[in-house]
């Protein structure tokens, strides 16, 4: 059976920062694919492919890294467990209007990118709840535990929620050409993280030569909304990276210079872990 997540811990925890990748899971149950309306490549169009590889150096710099194993098309860990879609799941009452659910992007997605339906027909409520119990709840239990550990050890927690975005999603942002962002930071317009923390995250990406915008077009979904509590010294920031920088989106394959971009991100990860490190402790961590 597919594991819900993979957690890599550092040999020694030296920072309050936690890295997590909820949408890069590549495990697709055989029965799910056999019943799907789409082929395997089309289903992967919603996946944050290879994001886990971009950030997997985090434990080398004192931070834990939590990555989903199940695919986003199977169960979406960046949705609330009760965001159930009555158009897909039998026996679900029609909820108060929820734009994500209405568009087919609930916790059990009805569609992938471009609004293409995943399933042939509807699925049973028991099947939906099974996915949530086996994959969603363990992932969030692990994430909550990591943040609690940060608080206990450092008096604060900083979650870097790692994602990627289709290039077409940012084509209308910032006009044409050089104005388009490479990275979008989502902090729910200040509700999920302090300005000081987001400023330092932005500075890390900018220093690496990447263009950064905030909250447009992605302000952050369930994870940063749920875990971001800056008044309690718990900050959560969604990081969206333009997929075209490192992968062929049509083929869902890394670009030839993927390793070069991976090294760029590795340098950024060093700066991000420093944000949650006690003053003067960087040398000791290296």
Q: Print pLDDT tens along the chain (286 aa).
A: 558 999 999 999 999 999 999 999 999 999 999 999 998 889 999 999 999 999 999 999 999 999 999 999 999 999 999 999 999 999 898 766 788 999 999 999 999 988 899 998 899 999 999 999 999 999 999 999 999 999 999 999 999 999 999 998 887 665 555 578 999 999 999 999 999 999 999 999 999 999 999 999 999 999 999 999 999 999 999 999 999 999 999 999 999 999 999 999 999 999 999 999 986 444 333 3
The confidence score (pLDDT) of residue 93 equals: 82
Domains of the chain as residue ranges with CATH:
5-72+138-285 (3.40.630.40)
The confidence score (pLDDT) of residue 114 equals: 84
Task: Give the chain's length.
Answer: 286
Q: Quickly list DSSP for 223-246.
A: HHHHH-BGGGTEEEEEEEEEGGGT
pTM metric for this prediction: 0.94
Q: Report how far residue 157's alpha carbon sits from residue 30's, in angstroms, rounded to the nearest whole number.
A: 38
């Amino acid at each position: 059976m597919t594991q819900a997540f993979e957690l890599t811990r550092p040999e020694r925890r030296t920072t309050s920062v936690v890295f997590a990748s909820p949408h890069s899971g590549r495990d697709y149950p055989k029965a799910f694919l056999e019943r799907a309306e789409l082929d395997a490549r089309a289903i992967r169009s919603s996946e944050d492919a290879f994001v886990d590889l971009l950030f997997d150096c985090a434990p080398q710099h004192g931070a834990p890294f939590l990555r989903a194993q199940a695919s986003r098309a199977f169960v979406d860990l960046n949705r609330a467990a009760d965001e159930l879609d009555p158009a897909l799941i039998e026996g679900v009452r029609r909820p108060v209007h929820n734009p994500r659910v209405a568009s087919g992007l609930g916790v059990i997605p009805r569609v992938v990118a471009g609004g293409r339906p995943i399933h042939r027909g509807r699925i049973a409520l028991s099947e939906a709840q099974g996915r949530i119990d086996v994959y969603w709840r363990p992932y969030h239990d692990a994430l909550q535990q990591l943040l609690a550990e940060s608080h206990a050890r450092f008096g604060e927690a900083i979650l870097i929620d790692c994602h990627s975005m289709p290039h077409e999603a940012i084509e209308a942002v910032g006009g044409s050409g050089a104005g388009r962002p490479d990275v979008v930071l989502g902090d729910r317009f200040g509700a999920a993280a302090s300005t000081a923390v987001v400023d330092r995250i932005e500075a890390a990406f900018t220093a690496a030569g990447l263009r950064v915008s905030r909250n447009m077009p992605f302000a952050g979904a369930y994870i940063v909304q749920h875990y971001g509590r800056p008044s309690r010294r718990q900050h959560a920031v969604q990081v969206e990276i333009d997929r075209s920088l490192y992968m062929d989106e049509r083929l869902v394959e890394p670009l030839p210079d993927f390793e070069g971009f991976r090294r760029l991100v590795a340098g950024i990860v060093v700066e991000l872990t420093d944000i949650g490190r006690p003053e003067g402790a960087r040398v000791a961590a290296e």
